[in-house]
Structure 1
Amino acid sequence: MRRPFRPAFALHLILPLLMATMAGSAHAGKVLDGIKQRGQLRCGVSNGVAGFSAADEKGRWSGLDVDICRAVAAAVLGQPDKVSYVPLNSQQRFAALQSGQIDILSRNTSWTLTRDASLGLLFTAVTYYDGQGFLLPRKLKVDDARQLKGAQVCTQSGTTNEKNLADFSRTHRLNIKPVVFDTYEAAFKAYFAGRCQAFTTDVSALSGIRNKEAPKPEDHVILPDLISKEPLGPLVRRGDEDWFTVVRWTVFALQEAEELGITQANADARRKTDDPAVQRLLGTGEDTGKLLGLDKDWAFRAIQAVGHYGEVFERNVGSRSVLKLPRGPNRPWSQGGLIYAPPVR
C-alpha cells in the first residue's frame, strides 16, 4: 500500500536547504540601494578640523574621517571619489543624518550611551581613540589642569567637550567659567584673541589648532591631562542593518589589512598569496561580498583607495601629517593598542 504524501515532512526536508540558500546572500538594504542608484555617497563631515576633515583652497577634502568615506565609496561604488561632502557643525550633524540628508556621518563624533540610544542613530566602529585636554599659553606656566581654578575656558556648545568641562570643574571644585561658542572656529579664535585663559577640546584637534592656527605654535602648550574618553567613529541611521554592516566592515577591513601587512602599494601583489586570511580579505578566496550586498572585491578596492588603517592614521594625523600625533592607543592590539578588528571570514 502506497504511503500518503506528507507535506509537513517534505517541508521539514526542504526548509533547511531554503534557509541555507537565503543565508548565503544578503539584501542590499534601502540606503545601499539608494547610493547605488544615485552613484554617490553623501558623507557628513566637519566644517574643518585639521587631520580629520578639511577642504583646501580648491575644495578638495582630506582627513581621517574623509578617508573612511572614500573607503566606503570604493567598496560600494567602485571609486573612492564618488562622494559628496556635506560640512556640518555640531548642532547640525545629527539632524542631517536623521533626516536622510546624508548617508553617513564621519565627523570626529564621540560615541556615548545617550547618542547611541536616543538619537535613532548607530555608531558603527571606533576609528580614533581620543581624549579631551587643554591648550593654553606657555607663559601661564600651568602644568596641571587642576591649576585652572577660576579660569575662563573656551569651548564649543552642543559637544561632549562642554559637558566634560563642567564635570571636571565640579569634581575638582575648580569653579571653571566656560566661555561657550556655537562653532569650533569661533571658540578657538576667541582663545587666540585672549578672551579666555585656555581652550578645551579633543587632544587631536588641539594639536591641529596649535600647529595650523597659532601665530607662534611654540607659545602654546597642550597639558598632559586627559579629562575624558572620546572614542570617535562614523554613524548611520537606525533601521537599515544592511547599511550599518557595510560601513562597519569596511572599517574593520582597513584595520585587518594592517594586521595582515596589506598596504595600498602591495594589495594587488598580495592577491597571489596562499594565505587564506589574505585571500578572504582581497577577494581571491571566499566571496564575503555577497553577504554584504557587494561584490567579492569590495575590501580590495577600499584598501587600494586609502591604504590600511595605519596608513590612513599616519597620513592624516600621525608622523606624515602636520599634527605629528603618536599612535598611542590607536596601535593594533597586537602592538599593545586598542585597534582590534573581528576577522573577515
Structure 2
Amino acid sequence: MKHSLILGAVAAIGLAAGAASANTLEDVKAKGHLQCGVATGVPGFAFTDADGEWQGFDVAVCRAVAAAIFGDPKAVKFTPTTGKTRFTALASGEVDMLARNTTWTFSRDTDLGFDFVGVNYYDGQGFMVRKDLGVTSAKELDGATVCIQTGTTTELNLADFFRVNGMSYEPVPIETNAEARQKYLAGACDVYTTDASGLAATRSTFEDPKAHVILPEIISKEPLGPLVRHGDNEWGDLVRWTLNALIIAEEKGITAANVEEMAKGTNDPEINRLLGAEGEYGKMIGLGKDWAVNAIKAGGNYGEIFDRYIGEDTPVGLARGLNAQWTQGGLLYAPPFR
C-alpha cells in the first residue's frame, strides 16, 4: 500500500540513505540480530500475540531471513512503522529491511533509492462500508466521507477513481490501521479504503464482521513485498532468495516437517541444490549450506505461512487467488534455483 505524497521527503530519504552501511550482512552479523521494519499492526499480517511476540504473514519473512543468517528465527527485532515513517527508517539504516504492506512502484524503486526483492502478496485497493448503508458499488459513494491512510498510494488512487467517475468525497486522514478501525467503527467515516487484504484483516476483528461489506471494485494493482536499500546488492540477493526459497519450497512439496529429511538428498536436483545436498550455493550469498533449510524450518513454506496467518480457515479468510502458485493458476513464480 502506498506512496509518499510529499516530494520533499524523497530527497531527504535519498540523502539519509548515505548514512546506512553498504555491507548490511556484516552489520547484521556484528550486532547479532536482524532489525526488520513491519506495520504497526495488521491482523494476520503483523501483530503481537498474547506473549508480546511478533507474528504474521509479513513477520514470517523477517524470521525466515534471520533463520537463514543465524539459524535462529528469533534473532530478529521488530520496528513498527507507519506509512509516513517506514521509508525514512529503511533509508537511514534504522532497519535492515522492510517486510510490511508496501507497494512496489516506479518512484519507490528508483527515486527513493530502494530495491524491492519480490512480491509476497499480490493485492489491490478496495472499499469497505457498513451493510446498512445500502451501497453495493464503489460508484455509489458520491459525497462519502472516506478514512484513508496518509503518506500512501491509496490517496492518489482514491483521487483518481473519484475524478474519473465524476464523484466527490471528503477524506478523513488516519495514520495507522488501528486508528482507521476506531474511526470507521465510530462512524467518523462512511468508507474505509486500503488494500483489500487489509480490509479483510480489519473486518475480521469486528464484533459483527457480517455487518460490513467489501465492495466488488478493485481499483489498483498493489504488489506488496519486502524491500531493502539501494547500494548493497549482496544483501538484496540474500533477502530476495530467502523469499524465493519459501516459494520454491511450496512448489516442490518441501515443508517445515520434512525439510531436514529432504536435505539429506532427493532425486530432484533443484531440491538438492536449494537444501545444500549439492553444490555450494549458500556461499554465493555469504551463508552456510543449510541457510534455506533453516529459513523453511522457521515457519514453513510460503503456503504454510499463508494458511497459518491469513488463509481461508483463519479469521482473515483470504483465498489464494492471484497468490496461488503459477502451477495452480496464480502469479506466484520463483526463478529457477540453479
Normalised TM-score (structure 2): 0.91
Alignment correspondent of 1:217: 209
Separation in 2, partners of 1:124, 1:41? 17
Separation in 2, partners of 1:172, 1:162? 16
CA deviations on 1:185-240 (whole Å, 9 max, x unpaired) are 2222111111111110111111111111x231111111121011110001111110
Query: What is the CA distance between 1:321 and its match in structure 2?
Result: 2.2
Within a 5 Å distance, the mapping from 1:304-323 to structure 2 comes to 304-323=297-316
From 21, 28, 37, the equivalent of 1:35 is 28
Q: Which secondary structure does the structure 2 equivalent of 1:280 belong to?
A: helix
From 148, 157, 175, the equivalent of 2:141 is 148
Alignment correspondent of 2:232: 240
Separation in 2, partners of 1:61, 1:279? 32
Q: Which secondary structure does the structure 2 equivalent of 1:122 belong to?
A: strand
Do 1:91 and 1:158's aligned partners in 2 also have CA atoms closer than 8 Å? yes
1:269 aligns with 2:288: no
Separation in 1, partners of 2:241, 2:176? 32
1:113 aligns with 2:106: yes
Query: What is the CA distance between 1:58 and its match in structure 2?
Result: 2.4
How many residues were matched structurally?
316
Q: Which amino acid aligns with 1:265?
A: A
Query: What is the CA distance between 1:59 and its match in structure 2?
Result: 1.3
CA deviations on 1:75-132 (whole Å, 9 max, x unpaired) are 1111111000111111110000101001011111111111111112111110000111
Alignment correspondent of 1:11: none
Query: What is the CA distance between 1:307 and its match in structure 2?
Result: 0.8
Separation in 2, partners of 1:320, 1:33? 40
Do 1:155 and 1:184's aligned partners in 2 also have CA atoms closer than 8 Å? no
Q: Which secondary structure does the structure 1 equivalent of 2:28 belong to?
A: helix
Do 1:245 and 1:292's aligned partners in 2 also have CA atoms closer than 8 Å? yes
Alignment correspondent of 2:246: 254
Query: What is the CA distance between 1:176 and its match in structure 2?
Result: 2.0
1:104 aligns with 2:97: yes
Do 1:124 and 1:236's aligned partners in 2 also have CA atoms closer than 8 Å? yes
Do 1:154 and 1:188's aligned partners in 2 also have CA atoms closer than 8 Å? no
Q: Which amino acid aligns with 2:159?
A: A
From 175, 182, 206, the equivalent of 2:199 is 206
Alignment correspondent of 1:3: none
CA deviations on 1:296-332 (whole Å, 9 max, x unpaired) are 1111111111111111111111134221100000001
Separation in 1, partners of 2:181, 2:103? 19
Alignment correspondent of 1:294: 287
Q: Which amino acid aligns with 2:219?
A: I
Separation in 1, partners of 2:29, 2:123? 33
Query: What is the CA distance between 1:30 and its match in structure 2?
Result: 1.2
Separation in 1, partners of 2:282, 2:260? 18
Alignment correspondent of 2:277: 284
Moved more, 187-196 or 321-330: 187-196
Q: Which runs of 5+ in 2 are unaligned?
A: 1-21
Q: Which secondary structure does the structure 2 equivalent of 1:177 belong to?
A: strand
Q: Which amino acid aligns with 1:322?
A: P
1:197 aligns with 2:200: no
Q: Which runs of 5+ in 1 are unaligned?
A: 1-28
Larger Rg: 1
CA deviations on 1:3-24 (whole Å, 9 max, x unpaired) are xxxxxxxxxxxxxxxxxxxxxx
Alignment correspondent of 2:222: 230
Normalised TM-score (structure 1): 0.89
Q: Which amino acid aligns with 2:67?
A: A
Q: Which amino acid aligns with 1:340?
A: Y
1:336 aligns with 2:329: yes
Within a 5 Å distance, the mapping from 1:8-27 to structure 2 comes to none
Please list every run of at least 4 consecutive aligned residues from structure 1 whose deviation after the TM superposition is greater than 3 angstroms: none
Alignment correspondent of 2:6: none
Percent identity reads 51
Alignment correspondent of 2:3: none
CA deviations on 1:273-307 (whole Å, 9 max, x unpaired) are 12111101111011211111111111111111111
1:54 aligns with 2:47: yes
Q: Which amino acid aligns with 1:60?
A: E
Alignment correspondent of 1:163: 156
Q: Which secondary structure does the structure 2 equivalent of 1:118 belong to?
A: coil
Separation in 2, partners of 1:232, 1:156? 16
Q: Which secondary structure does the structure 2 equivalent of 1:45 belong to?
A: strand
Separation in 2, partners of 1:217, 1:140? 15
Q: Which secondary structure does the structure 1 equivalent of 2:204 belong to?
A: helix
From 56, 68, 76, the equivalent of 1:75 is 68
Separation in 2, partners of 1:187, 1:274? 51
CA deviations on 1:38-88 (whole Å, 9 max, x unpaired) are 110000011101111111242111111100000000111111110001111
From 319, 322, 326, the equivalent of 1:326 is 319
Do 1:45 and 1:85's aligned partners in 2 also have CA atoms closer than 8 Å? yes
